[in-house]
Structure formats: C-alpha cells, structure tokens
Amino acid sequence: MALYIFGHKIPDSDSIVAALAMAYLKNALGIEAIAVRQGDINPETKFILEKFDLEIPELKTSFANNEVYLTDFSDIAQAPDDIGKATIIGIVDHHKLGDLTTSTPLECWIRPVGCTNTIIKEMFDYYEVEIPKNLAGAMMCAILSDTVIFKSPTCTKLDTKITKELASIAQIEDYKALGLEMFKVKSAVDGTPVRELVMRDYKPFDMNGLKVGIGQLEVVDLSIFDDIKDDLLIDIKALKEEKGLDTVLLLLTDIIKMGSEVLVSSNQEETIEKAFDKKIVDGKFWLDGCLSRKKQVVPVLEPAFA
C-alpha cells in the first residue's frame, strides 16, 4: 500500500513542493510514496513546477484506510475531512503544533524555521540522499516564497544557508532575481475572480472555539488592488456568512513597503482593534512591518479570542 504525502487543503508552493520532495525521499529510502494535493495550485506554484519541469501532484481529497504523511500543517481544520480514518505516519512542518492526534507512533520533523522545505533539505542530508537538480530548484523557490526572499520575520540563518546550498545544486546564480520574478507572478491579479483571490492563500483556524479564516496576498505593489479592494471586502463578508465564521481577515501584503493592509469582517472588531492596537476604518487597517501570518497575526489574534 502506497504512502500518500500532501499539504494543507488550500496548498501553497511550500506544501506542494514539500510533498514532491518528501515523496522522492521516501521512494529513495525504499518506501513507496505518492505526492498528492488537496486543492488547486496557485499561479506561483504553477510557475515553479513548470520552470523545473515537475508534474502537478494528483488531486486527492479522501484518505480513509490509507497511510499518510503531512507536509506544512498539523491542524485538523486544514486536513482532509476523513483524516480520522487514515493512519498518519509522519509530519514535517514549520508552524505551531496543531490539534491532530494519532493512535500510533509517528515520525515528526517540526522546526521553527521559515519553510518546510528547509527542514526537508535537512532530512535529505540526514539520510544521505542526493537531491535532483530540478527538485533542488523547486525547493529553493519554496523557501524564497515562504520567507518573502528572506524579508519575513520567520526567516532564519538556516533558511538562507539551505537556500544557497539548493541554488548551488540547481546551478542558479541569481536566486533573489528568480524570487522577485515569482512574486511578480503572484502580483498578477487582472481578470482573476475575487473569490479566487480571497482563497488563493487562505487558512482556517479554530481559535478557542471561534472559527476564523485568514487569507494573504503577497504582491510587489498594493496599488494593483485599488480597483478591487471594495469587492474583496464584500467577498470576505460573504465568505464569513457562507461558512458560519466568526472572523475573516485578508492580508494584502506589500513585500517592497514591508507591511500589510488587513481587510476585516468580524463579530469581534473591538477585540481585534485591542489586540493589534489599531483602529479599523472602513473595514481595514495597516500593520507596518507585517509580512507573516504565522508569526505576526495568528499569535496575536488567538490569545485575544480566549
């Protein structure tokens, strides 16, 4: 029976490339493994896979009676609906420990670094398995994406060190230029349906019993949202009602100005204002220096909802 390896429900580049890298590693170690995905890939991930000639993992959403290995998450809200009927063999992740539990022992590689692929590179080194040139390039891009080309507060010295090692394997000299090219792909929003933008990098959370959704769009110039910002606000309000959520936030992150405009639809506006020490005006507020949902938003919001 094959081992299925996959990331969270709405996959980003890190979760997709991590699944591909882990599947390669497991197969190299003699364990039959298949990389799959729970949802559609975003334009940035498509760009990465095409550049390095890697196939898009097959879509699979049901895993009952299968063995699975999770990449880039450990929260029930981001898992398949039938995860309780699967056997979790392992987790590799760089987020806070989530609420998934297991009935059997499992392999866990969880580190406070900027990207799951940073940890997976360490796993390749640990098992003394060589990384193919194209896979190394994709892993490098995943790290550049998750660390916002090393600008994110989640970025560590290990992320930068491993990025350089992967760039050497992939024979890419100007990896920062490639990173900027990736973010320009992320910034292309013309003609994209508003709901698709809201859900492009969206994660659900259970914060002390309250259902919260947080999306993020990272771009090189916030002005691209000028004509659709009102539509984005209307859509996150609609999403909140459709899903029965308490709060939906959408971070519009400018990687050049180093900050995020946060769009808000919430039953807890006063709590949010107090948590971030900001006034919500017309459904939005600015967070200077905010690039990371994981480190600068979730840890502030979750205790405020206690």
Query: pLDDT by residue for the chain (306 residues), tens digit each?
Result: 899 999 999 999 999 999 999 999 999 999 999 999 999 999 999 999 999 999 999 999 999 999 999 999 999 999 999 999 999 999 999 999 999 999 899 999 999 999 999 999 999 999 999 999 999 999 999 999 999 999 999 999 999 999 999 999 999 999 999 999 999 998 888 889 999 999 999 999 999 999 999 999 999 999 999 999 999 999 999 999 999 999 999 999 999 999 999 999 999 999 999 999 999 999 999 999 999 999 999 999 999 998
* pLDDT of amino acid 242: 97
Domain residues for 216? 194-304
Q: For the chain, how many structural domains are there in total?
A: 2
> 19 with 123, same domain?
yes
Give the DSSP per-residue string, 204-269. Answer: EEEETTEEEEEEEEEES-GGGGTTTHHHHHHHHHHHHHHHT-SEEEEEEEETTTTEEEEEEEES-H
Q: Give CA–CA dist 112/13, Å, rounded.
A: 18
Cβ(60)–Cβ(81) below 8 Å: no
Q: Which of 197, 260, 185 is nearest to 232 (CA)?
A: 197
> Which of 163, 184, 205 delimits the end of a domain?
184
* pLDDT of amino acid 187: 83
* pLDDT of amino acid 76: 95
Tokens for 88, please give them.
Answer: 């979790």
> 45 with 161, same domain?
yes
* pLDDT of amino acid 1: 80
Tokens for 158, please give them.
Answer: 């290990």
Question: Within a domain: residue 110?
Answer: yes
> 141 with 16, same domain?
yes
Determine whether 173 is exposed, middle or buried from the number of CB atoms within 10 Å of its CB (0-12, 13-18, 19+).
Answer: exposed
> 86 with 163, same domain?
yes
Tokens for 57, please give them.
Answer: 């993992």
**End-to-end alpha carbon distance in the chain:** 43
Q: Give CA–CA dist 141/121, Å, rounded.
A: 13
Question: Within a domain: residue 189?
Answer: no
> 154 with 199, same domain?
no
pTM exceeds cut of 0.85: yes
Tokens for 52, please give them.
Answer: 């390095």
* pLDDT of amino acid 115: 98
* pLDDT of amino acid 186: 85
The CATH number of residue 22's host domain is 3.90.1640.10
Buried b (16+ CB within 10 A) or exposed e, 123-146: bbeeeeeebeeebbbbbbbbbbbb
> Which of 127, 153, 184 delimits the end of a domain?
184
Cβ(253)–Cβ(219) below 8 Å: yes
Tokens for 104, please give them.
Answer: 């059997």
Place of tokens 């606000």: 233
Question: Within a domain: residue 15?
Answer: yes
> 199 with 180, same domain?
no
The CATH number of residue 249's host domain is 3.10.310.20
> 121 with 266, same domain?
no
> 215 with 176, same domain?
no
Q: Which of 37, 8, 41, 2 is nearest to 20 (CA)?
A: 37
